[in-house]
Structure 1
Amino acid sequence: MSRRADQSGRLEGALEGGPVPHDEDTRQMLAAAGALQPGHQRSPSRVRAAREAFLREYARTQNPQETREDAGSGDGLDEPEIHRVEMELPDGGQLVLTDIENITPERAEKTANHIARILNSKERDRQS
């Protein structure tokens, strides 16, 4: 039996789970075969989910929704008004409040007092 046939038989045996041969050539062939073997297998459920998502997206692009003629008029999706109030803090700082809701003077004063109390606190910030 030739040397190559002997190596081939040992390589096949090792690939099928048999003993690993000790000669360098066969070990290198095993390493090459291992590099070619896929490292993971695809999950059938993930393949199916990806295929279904692809088909849904394809159907959506092939059949776009009709554009409404009255879109953007009175549908409640207009740009909201931004309310802004600037206030001076007791230690000379400035507080700027912005909100999409109306900012009442009571709410602004309460927020300013809360921020001033945080700034004047003797306790150190635990994050710094």
Structure 2
Amino acid sequence: MSRRADQSESLERALDGGPMPHDEDTRQMLAAAGALQPGYRRSPARVRSAREAMLREYARVQNPQETREDAGTGDGLDELELHREEVELPGGGHLVLTDIEAITPERVEKMTDRVERFLKNSEQKDRQS
């Protein structure tokens, strides 16, 4: 059998999942065949899922829900009060705390301590590098 026929059979066996060939020519041909193969395959389940999602969204846009006359009332969002506290940090920093819950002096002190520790740690890391 010729060398070319032997390489061809070896390449076909490798492409079918057989043992990896040892000669360099067949390995290069196998690498070239792998480079020509697409990097990914489309999953039929994902294609179907994407299509169904597009159709659901299309149907939702075509048939919008009716707006209620009382929409937005009584949901509690219009009564929402934001609490805000501004604190001067040592070293010239400025901290603004905002929350929907009341900001107590203990929370202000706790957050101020955290920010100061964070700033000290970041300064020490900057000096070390």
Given the two structures, how large is their TM-score scaled by the length of structure 2? 0.54
**Structure 2: runs of 5 or more not aligned:** 1-11, 13-37
Write the distance in 2 (CA, Å) between the matches of 1:116 and 1:99: 20
Shift in alpha-carbon separation, 1:45–1:113, aligned structure 2, 3 A? closer
Shift of 1:125: 5.2
- Within 5 Å, which residues of 2 pair with 1:44-123? 44-78=44-78, 80-121=80-121, 123=124
Cα deviation, residue 91, structure 1: 2.8
Matches of 1:95 and 1:109 in 2, distance apart?
Answer: 11
CA distance in 1: counterparts of 2:45 and 2:94, whole angstroms: 57
Pair member with larger Rg = 1
- Identity over aligned pairs, percent: 68
Alpha-carbon RMSD across the aligned residues, in angstroms, is: 3.2
- Residue by residue, what CA displacement relative to the aligned partner does 1:39-61 show, whole Å, maximum 9, x if unpaired? 57643223322221222122212
Q: 1:62 to 1:94 in 2, by over 3 A?
A: closer
Structure 1 spans left out of the alignment, 5+ residues: 1-16, 18-38
**Quick check: which one's helix share is greater?**
2
Count residues with an aligned counterpart.
92
1:123 alignment partner, SS class: helix
Q: How far is the alpha carbon of 1:76 from its aligned partner?
A: 2.6
Residues 123, 79 of structure 1: alpha-carbon distance in 2 compared, 3 angstrom cutoff: farther
